[in-house]
């Protein structure tokens, strides 16, 4: 099995101390840590950090090959990586050793929460194949419901399997069992994924819909009253139900960008004529080969893309005489190529699927999984997009020396701060600086207070430019560092490998520290006001 898992979460709070200099989130109590690795490493190897306490003085090196997979104990770790198809994003779970998903629908909904979880439109499980297929795919939506299939999800699934199995060939296809039947994705030479989505189901009772059939057994350009407005709709199933509309009865052509999707979408989804609820596609026709669509997905709401919805859209457009059988369908996340072949009646979808990557996702995701029925709990996290896979901060943030940019402050981002936080505060310090009068002591390089609660990041080069950045940034106050100078002061390093700590305090009140803010004054003032802490460690 290829080393293709990007992160892990432990179900126990008793985990061995960690093993690698990396970005850490620590608290006064030991708890598990996971890290989502970026594609800077072409071998797609996992970097996993376990837990330690806030008093831990050092970390130790170990092999990246054994620090993760070889420490697994039963279902103790949840292995996952995040993919997206045109912005429709999913958490992919390696579930090939079990025929049952490793987390419950309720836990999946927690993980999908974009404020208190990892954030996704759904969780997809790669399970063993059945009935002669290579694999089985199951998916839990962000609300915990389970759809039959997902077009964008199956493209992500295909790329995930290729990484898991280390299958790197020019063209690759395999069979997947889904709730909608057999699906056969094929990874093309250019990395796009072409999927044989099978035949569309048009019989009204099988979509299913209670609307009366008006064209053979199908519902084509039928009238549907939603919130007092009559829409023309065509109903199609691509293994999951779709209601496709090009506009209201007697109205002008639909302008999809003008729609209030959050208002109208749920009324279609839960309409009484759809006993299994429905996905709804609102479509604008540019030409017989070019359509634009926005979607309200059953169980997920408005998403950036829907593969089965794009397929259903082209089928409906053909049935209504609005388009040909080969179309480009523009979605908010990008285009999909859809072909409804006349010779075999199958619909073929071609589009991208990518692992979520880039500097933003070189971060720690910390959550503990408690015994059912308790859901997944996600803890706060603190990251810097500039820290590389080895946990190093680049030289340009130093005070002087090769590559230095003279006290350019590094970017810092934070997520999932505790509810009730009114004013985060940040302290950055060198843990290894020598004190001539005693043992090593943390040396402050940056103190930042009175950060507005809606601010979630300090951009690169922020220090000394509060007024220039403007808005809420202008309210932030910088304290003095160990040199008794305001703002960020990068280190002058006698040697490489010095440990740096970024600590974010989530406070229940603003810090009133006078004109001269110091680390010592802040640490004294926050007593009794700390709702939570997040710590990020790196090396210069």
What confidence tens digit (pLDDT) does each residue in 364-414 have? 333 333 333 333 334 556 777 777 656 788 888 887 777 778 788 998 888
Q: Above 70 in pLDDT, residue 140?
A: yes
Residue with the larger pLDDT of the pair 328 and 115:
328
Residue with the larger pLDDT of the pair 35 and 388:
388
Mean pLDDT of 2-31: 27
Residue with the larger pLDDT of the pair 20 and 140:
140
Question: In whole angstroms, what is the distance from residue 347 CA to residue 241 CA?
Answer: 15
Say what the pLDDT of residue 118 is. Answer: 78
DSSP annotation string for 374-418: S-EEE--EEE-TT--TTSB--GGGSSSSTT--SSPPPPEEEE-PP
Residue 252 CB burial class (10 angstroms; 0-12, 13-18, ≥19): exposed
Which of the four pLDDT bands, split at 50, 70 and 90, describes residue 130? very high
List, edge to edge, every strand of the sheet that includes 499-507. 477-478, 443-449, 423-430, 499-507, 530-539
**CB under 8 Å to 295, separation ≥6 — which residues?**
279, 280, 281, 282, 302, 303, 305, 306, 309, 331
Which of the four pLDDT bands, split at 50, 70 and 90, describes residue 27? very low
Q: Above 60 in pLDDT, residue 32?
A: no
- Axis-axis angle for helices 151-164, 307-319 (nearest 10): 140
Two structure tokens written together for 390: 């080895």
Say what the pLDDT of residue 494 is. Answer: 64
Q: Which residues are catalytic?
A: 150, 306
Contact 306, 88 (CB under 8 A): yes
Say what the pLDDT of residue 377 is. Answer: 38
Which range among 48-62, 77-91, 173-187, 501-515 shows the weakest confidence by mean pLDDT? 48-62
Say what the pLDDT of residue 252 is. Answer: 83
Contact 95, 125 (CB under 8 A): yes
Which range among 152-166, 222-236, 321-335 shows the weakest confidence by mean pLDDT? 152-166
Say what the pLDDT of residue 79 is. Answer: 67
Say what the pLDDT of residue 516 is. Answer: 86
Report H helices in 223-297: 261-269
Q: Which helix (H) or strand (E) holds 423?
A: strand 423-430
Q: What mean pLDDT is reported for the chain?
A: 78
Question: In whole angstroms, what is the distance from residue 345 CA to residue 351 CA?
Answer: 20
- Using only C-alpha atoms, what is the Rg of the chain? 26
Residue with the larger pLDDT of the pair 134 and 163:
134
Mean pLDDT of 147-162: 93
Which range among 191-205, 266-280, 420-434 shows the weakest confidence by mean pLDDT? 420-434
Which of the four pLDDT bands, split at 50, 70 and 90, describes residue 192? very high
Q: Above 60 in pLDDT, residue 474?
A: yes
Q: Above 50 in pLDDT, residue 427?
A: yes
Say what the pLDDT of residue 101 is. Answer: 94
Percent of the chain with pLDDT over 90: 45
Percent of the chain with pLDDT over 70: 78
Question: Between the CA of residue 10 and those of 14, 24, 74, 366, what are the distances in Å?
Answer: 9, 15, 11, 9
Question: By C-alpha distance, which of 128, 127, 129 is closest to 139?
Answer: 127
Say what the pLDDT of residue 490 is. Answer: 84
Residue with the larger pLDDT of the pair 186 and 482:
186
Say what the pLDDT of residue 384 is. Answer: 76
Chain-centroid distance, C-alpha 192:
20
Q: Which of 56-70, 339-353, 409-423 has the highest mean pLDDT?
A: 339-353
Two structure tokens written together for 73: 């104990």
Q: Above 60 in pLDDT, residue 261?
A: yes
Residue with the larger pLDDT of the pair 255 and 365:
255
Q: Above 50 in pLDDT, residue 124?
A: yes
Question: In whole angstroms, what is the distance from residue 520 CA to residue 513 CA?
Answer: 11
Say what the pLDDT of residue 381 is. Answer: 66
Two structure tokens written together for 128: 């063993």
Mean pLDDT of 433-444: 69
Say what the pLDDT of residue 389 is. Answer: 59
Residue with the larger pLDDT of the pair 124 and 299:
124
Mean pLDDT of 156-163: 92
Question: In whole angstroms, what is the distance from residue 142 CA to residue 165 CA?
Answer: 27
Q: Above 70 in pLDDT, residue 175?
A: yes
Which of the four pLDDT bands, split at 50, 70 and 90, describes residue 67? very low
Say what the pLDDT of residue 3 is. Answer: 34
């Amino acid at each position: 099995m290829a080393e293709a898992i990007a992160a892990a979460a432990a179900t126990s709070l008793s985990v061995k101390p960690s093993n690698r200099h990396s970005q850490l989130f620590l608290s006064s109590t030991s708890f598990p840590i996971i890290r989502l690795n970026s594609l800077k490493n072409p071998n797609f190897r996992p970097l996993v950090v376990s837990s330690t306490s806030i008093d831990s003085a050092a970390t130790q090196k170990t092999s990246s090959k054994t620090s993760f997979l070889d420490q697994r104990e039963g279902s103790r770790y949840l292995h996952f990586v995040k993919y997206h198809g045109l912005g429709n994003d999913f958490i992919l779970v390696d579930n090939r050793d079990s025929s049952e998903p490793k987390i419950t629908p309720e836990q999946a909904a927690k993980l999908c929460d974009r404020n208190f979880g990892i954030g996704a439109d759904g969780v997809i499980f790669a399970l063993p194949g059945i009935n002669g297929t290579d694999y089985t795919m199951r998916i839990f939506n962000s609300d915990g419901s389970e759809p039959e299939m997902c077009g964008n999800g199956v493209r992500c699934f295909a790329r995930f399997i290729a990484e898991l199995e280390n299958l790197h060939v020019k063209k690759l296809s395999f069979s997947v069992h889904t709730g909608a039947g057999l699906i056969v994705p094929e990874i093309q030479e250019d990395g796009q994924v072409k999927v044989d989505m099978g035949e569309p189901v048009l019989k009204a009772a099988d979509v299913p819909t209670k609307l009366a059939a008006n064209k053979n057994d199908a519902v084509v350009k039928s009238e549907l009253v939603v919130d007092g407005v009559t829409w023309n709709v065509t109903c199609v199933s691509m293994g999951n139900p779709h209601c496709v509309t090009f506009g209201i009865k007697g109205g002008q052509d639909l302008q999809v960008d003008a729609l209030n999707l959050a208002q109208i979408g749920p009324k279609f989804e839960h309409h009484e004529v759809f006993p299994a609820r429905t996905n709804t596609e609102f479509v604008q026709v540019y030409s017989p080969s070019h359509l634009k669509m926005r979607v309200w997905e059953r169980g997920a709401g408005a998403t950036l893309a829907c593969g089965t919805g794009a397929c259903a859209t082209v089928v409906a457009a053909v049935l209504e005489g609005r388009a040909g059988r080969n179309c480009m369908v523009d979605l908010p996340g990008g285009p999909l190529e859809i072909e409804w072949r006349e010779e075999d009646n199958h619909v073929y979808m071609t589009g991208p699927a990518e692992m979520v990557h880039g500097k933003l996702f070189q971060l720690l995701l910390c959550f503990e999984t408690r015994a059912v029925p308790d859901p997944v709990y996600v803890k706060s996290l603190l990251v810097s997009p500039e820290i590389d896979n080895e946990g190093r901060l680049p030289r340009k943030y130093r005070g002087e020396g090769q590559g230095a940019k003279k006290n350019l402050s590094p970017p810092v981002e934070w997520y999932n701060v505790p509810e009730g936080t009114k004013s985060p505060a940040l302290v950055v310090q060198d843990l290894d600086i020598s004190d001539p009068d005693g043992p090593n002591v943390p040396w402050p390089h940056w103190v930042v207070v009175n950060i507005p609660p809606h601010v979630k990041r300090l951009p690169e080069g922020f220090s000394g430019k509060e007024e220039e950045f403007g808005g809420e940034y202008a309210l932030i106050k910088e304290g003095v560092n160990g040199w008794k100078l305001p703002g960020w002061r990068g280190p002058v390093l006698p040697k490489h490998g010095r440990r740096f700590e970024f600590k974010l305090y989530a406070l229940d009140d603003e810090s009133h520290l006078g004109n001269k803010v110091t680390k010592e004054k802040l640490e004294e003032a926050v007593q009794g006001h700390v709702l939570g802490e997040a710590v990020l460690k790196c090396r210069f």
